Structure 1
């Protein structure tokens, strides 16, 4: 009897230490050695941006359904279920089930001289999050905490605020021109597991081992992200449901009960330890005045004013609480004081005025664009707090002037001004076709994000060249969400917008949908091609006659296109085929029938293909200036 008791005690002690070893060893898994994968979007061999996929595994407890995984990667359930061979997007998943998740891969310039290729995935920090945990667990080593720190230099990894949005750079690559010619359509991001080798990965994807080595080299380590070249995604096998095991004998039952008792006991001890540490941490933070979301003077003022019930009027004349309507944004944005903004803009002087009611101001050495408006910013704030993308102008904070019932939105300052000014006002500086094509792709990526990756979908409603801003690298960002609407396929009687860009169905019937943004984007494409304004001084809209350019045979089309292109193109070498493709796309975008317009997903793909044609300098179809002069 003593021997059995001694044996049971030894077994219990062994299981306890094995469990502790397993817990800590699992957290000490090796990290990928890379800080990112370098790229050069200016090289002719690259085709950024591109649509590609990551290989992801369903895992308990938080990611056993497509909705939660879709939210993590900012995609819909359907966008995962189709490439993953899942018939029902609402079906539950099983642990370790294989999935293909779509991402948009771009070549991104960092604050350093380095550029790396990754997909911008926005993640909102929750209590207990660290860059390391999110990178290794939720994103399953598809990025590294070092890269997260590089991409988010303004954030302190050891002092993260709950509610702040962080860009997690998901490693990816786009196939180069040679790979595309060899029918490599995707470079799928795959994280090497301890049980993997290059041969097993090649077998899983149905490709040659040598093709993976050609792309990644032969020194990949466990937890590294490698890129698997495929012509098309392999068909993933659906998991089969395993029937329940038949009841065992009494000894088996006793073993299960004993195991459960041991596990529950250990879990209870760990929970007590964690709870004690959490209580100690919270008390320490409160004593130091470090509770997340508290202690900010302006936020305290907001909370006090909200209790006083101060009201203003919205755009429809209805009285609204100035503070209550933005209370949910206090922990997501910086709250500026009105004194700060007045000092930054020299009292909102004309010398600081950029355009309309937007002022340039410097606060603590950082330059911002400050938009002054009457109280009508609630809808904008609701939308802006949902979006975070490199091709959208970033909202940094806001200010409510309760005394004068004014609201101020504080945005990042985009240095090079609007696309409108570069196309129609700057006489000495002209944009090359290459730059214009890059701008078009940037805008299309921003629109694709708000159309496809937000729930409910966001319709901008005011896409035009003056609402497209360019940074120092001439990369485009969409600005001014003042007319944006969350949700689509609605009807409104309140028609707003800019003449020359308004979709016919919206002007006639008030139909709000993503296709009205597609129409406006088509007009911007026509501006980029022609250098002409959306509406001339006689009131003629640019899009109305665009379709005539594509009438007739190929020779007629080339001659008509010559009359459309900006004269500055005559001094460049560029692909006539690329120009014609973009013109065809623009005409499709401004089709009077919204159902015949392409989606932004299709537009991004088409523009990337056009960019491939443009950058392929070895193609015999490349033109010189004399081609258009014929």
Structure 2
């Protein structure tokens, strides 16, 4: 039996090894470009075939190429964003192709894709197994000159140059609008590629020459994208007939192994139950069960064990005086004292695995820092231990009459802090992180009144997804998410716009009649004219009016809020744009002294 399994595994390994590329592409360093002949950048496509178990859904491929699912689905003739993909399914991946200067003498044409190194990754494996030879490890080394290929660290960001080309001016005049990047396969011919893409053999040779080797990039000139005919989910017989007997043999061998293993397992289970009955040990040992639960839960978060401190439940219980209700900060978050410091300890049922995975890859001054966690195997609870922020939530500061009021300068600084935190998770994490629950109660203030974003319990790693499970807080939820379940960074932008309205007006996101604040703004503010300025006077928080502020500064923030609340997500600004716009206001206002002019004087002009 052991020999049979060993033979099967060895044969399977040989099969997959011989199925992978064994010939290096002819051009390994990239494709030169000339800015005098082509545009500095263009929009083009790469032909990509789904391979491997980790690429059988559109979301994983869109995350890999840093584009949205609809941007792949439309040119690829896909009718569903959520249906599973199948091996060998063909896709068109949109690329922004640029002529890049890699040194003083060389310009190379490629699309920059950021990739975060994971365990076991090498430049070669990522180039071949994930990007399917749309780039090469040699070119990765060229565009990342400061990285040492044999000394990569997990979490390190690397630029992978996806080979592409922009049409020359002459080609554009001849109606060549795209040069599709295609990896030449061993079974391909130039004429078969021309037929597949609706191009001509002559035009392909003109662009690529006639000495094309397997795994080379072929730039296929077309006037428009051809309609992809998706292959059957079953393994295609084209170009694989010579391996059909081998595949059938493997299937038979695998079936025999499964049957034999099943029979052996059945006899073992039967014998084990007879033995347990005989010795009278059918009862489950509570301590053993507890250990199994703890091991199972620890396995879920094994990636986090080396980054965060793992607390014992006894430590947290002592820190919170047995989770005394008088120490509740909000909901199920307790204030605890350990090792001479205060912490915020969040108690939750075991659903923190995703939150931990997201938190372990973010590190920014405007995000609440996770210090450690604890798993209580007795009741399968998980506890997240966060840094404690002295001044509580922005919601309390704005809406609790007992709290000291915030000046406009302070509110503006808080807005910039929140925007910086969101920009980080949207732009500097791969895949991008969507918070999904941006609201004033999830914005915490430290001793210096600097803002930090908290509570990643609903966060989603990877955007442009669609879900049927709608979560969030009334008054902050973006319309497209509420109606269609579309998850994107633009839903965070919308929620941030609502927070800006709270900062300006001092009002809650939903009033006592259940009307959302952003709806009121939609109805009353349509422009930057004098009429809008007059309405704004009645909208601004009285506490802001009592202190020094500039109406131009408030109008600027109001404009940013209105733009962020656009019903069309594509029309909303990115957090990069918002940070830039807010910082312009911040620079202007920082120059004003506390005893500067009164806003009432500004309104009176």
Cα distance in 2 for partners of 1:516, 1:545 equals 19
What is the SS of the residue equivalent to 2:405?
A: coil
Cα distance in 1 for partners of 2:494, 2:468 equals 19
Match of 2:526 in 1: 551
Check whether the contact 1:534–1:541 (CA below 8 A) recurs between aligned residues. Answer: yes
Alignment of 1:88-127 (within 5 A): 93=102
Residue of structure 2 aligned with 1:439, choices 414, 425, 435: 414
Residue 570 of structure 1 pairs with residue 545 of structure 2: yes
> What's the CA shift string for 1:301-323, capped at 9, x where partnerless?
xxx99995327xxxxxxxx9312
Match of 1:472 in 2: 447
Cα distance in 1 for partners of 2:431, 2:473 equals 25
Scaled by the length of structure 1, what TM-score is found? 0.51
User: Structure 1 residues 592 and 77 mapped into 2: Cα distance closer, same or farther (>3 Å)?
Assistant: closer
Q: CA deviation at 1:393?
A: 0.1
> What's the CA shift string for 1:202-246, capped at 9, x where partnerless?
xxxxxxxxxxxxxxxxxxxxxxxxxxxxxxxxxxxxxxxxxxxxx
Q: CA deviation at 1:88?
A: 5.3
Match of 2:245 in 1: none
Structure 2: segments with no counterpart, 5+ residues: 1-64, 68-95, 108-115, 119-143, 147-151, 157-286
What is the SS of the residue equivalent to 2:495?
A: helix
Match of 1:309 in 2: 292
Residue of structure 2 aligned with 1:346, choices 300, 303, 321: 321
The count of residues paired between Structure 1 and Structure 2 equals 347
Alignment of 1:276-287 (within 5 A): none
Match of 2:330 in 1: 355
Residue of structure 2 aligned with 1:449, choices 419, 424, 439: 424
Residue of structure 2 aligned with 1:612, choices 581, 587, 605: 587
User: Structure 1 residues 485 and 569 mapped into 2: Cα distance closer, same or farther (>3 Å)?
Assistant: same
Scaled by the length of structure 2, what TM-score is found? 0.53
> What's the CA shift string for 1:419-438, capped at 9, x where partnerless?
00000014351000000000
Match of 1:237 in 2: none
User: Structure 1 residues 306 and 367 mapped into 2: Cα distance closer, same or farther (>3 Å)?
Assistant: farther
Check whether the contact 2:66–2:431 (CA below 8 A) recurs between aligned residues. Answer: no
Cα distance in 1 for partners of 2:400, 2:355 equals 29
Q: CA deviation at 1:400?
A: 0.3
Q: CA deviation at 1:551?
A: 3.1
Residue 405 of structure 1 pairs with residue 380 of structure 2: yes
Cα distance in 2 for partners of 1:90, 1:402 equals 56
Cα distance in 2 for partners of 1:596, 1:517 equals 14
What is the SS of the residue equivalent to 1:408?
A: strand
Check whether the contact 1:570–1:628 (CA below 8 A) recurs between aligned residues. Answer: no
User: Structure 1 residues 421 and 428 mapped into 2: Cα distance closer, same or farther (>3 Å)?
Assistant: closer
Check whether the contact 1:572–1:625 (CA below 8 A) recurs between aligned residues. Answer: no
Alignment of 1:189-588 (within 5 A): 308-310=291-293, 321-551=296-526, 554-588=529-563
Match of 2:578 in 1: 603
Check whether the contact 1:414–1:469 (CA below 8 A) recurs between aligned residues. Answer: yes
What is the SS of the residue equivalent to 1:563?
A: helix
User: Structure 1 residues 432 and 164 mapped into 2: Cα distance closer, same or farther (>3 Å)?
Assistant: farther
Cα distance in 2 for partners of 1:536, 1:421 equals 16
Cα distance in 2 for partners of 1:441, 1:539 equals 29
Check whether the contact 2:293–2:380 (CA below 8 A) recurs between aligned residues. Answer: no
Check whether the contact 2:444–2:454 (CA below 8 A) recurs between aligned residues. Answer: yes
Stretch of structure 1 that moved more, 457-466 or 574-583: 574-583
Cα distance in 2 for partners of 1:566, 1:139 equals 53
Q: CA deviation at 1:91?
A: 7.8
Check whether the contact 1:523–1:534 (CA below 8 A) recurs between aligned residues. Answer: yes
Q: CA deviation at 1:553?
A: 6.7
Cα distance in 2 for partners of 1:91, 1:575 equals 44
Cα distance in 2 for partners of 1:428, 1:470 equals 13
> What's the CA shift string for 1:113-167, capped at 9, x where partnerless?
xxxxxxxxx999xxxxxxxxxxxxx999xxxxxxxxxxxxxxxxxxxxx99999x
User: Structure 1 residues 450 and 473 mapped into 2: Cα distance closer, same or farther (>3 Å)?
Assistant: same
User: Structure 1 residues 593 and 445 mapped into 2: Cα distance closer, same or farther (>3 Å)?
Assistant: same
Check whether the contact 1:374–1:407 (CA below 8 A) recurs between aligned residues. Answer: yes
Cα distance in 2 for partners of 1:355, 1:590 equals 28
What is the SS of the residue equivalent to 2:336?
A: strand
Cα distance in 1 for partners of 2:470, 2:598 equals 44
Structure 1: segments with no counterpart, 5+ residues: 1-75, 79-86, 99-121, 125-137, 141-161, 167-303, 312-319
> What's the CA shift string for 1:588-624, capped at 9, x where partnerless?
1111111111000000000011112223449xx9654
RMSD, aligned α-carbons? 3.7
> What's the CA shift string for 1:446-484, capped at 9, x where partnerless?
000000000000000000000000001110000000000
Check whether the contact 1:163–1:331 (CA below 8 A) recurs between aligned residues. Answer: no
Match of 2:169 in 1: none
Check whether the contact 1:359–1:370 (CA below 8 A) recurs between aligned residues. Answer: yes
What is the SS of the residue equivalent to 2:385?
A: strand
Match of 2:79 in 1: none
Larger radius of gyration between Structure 1 and Structure 2:
2
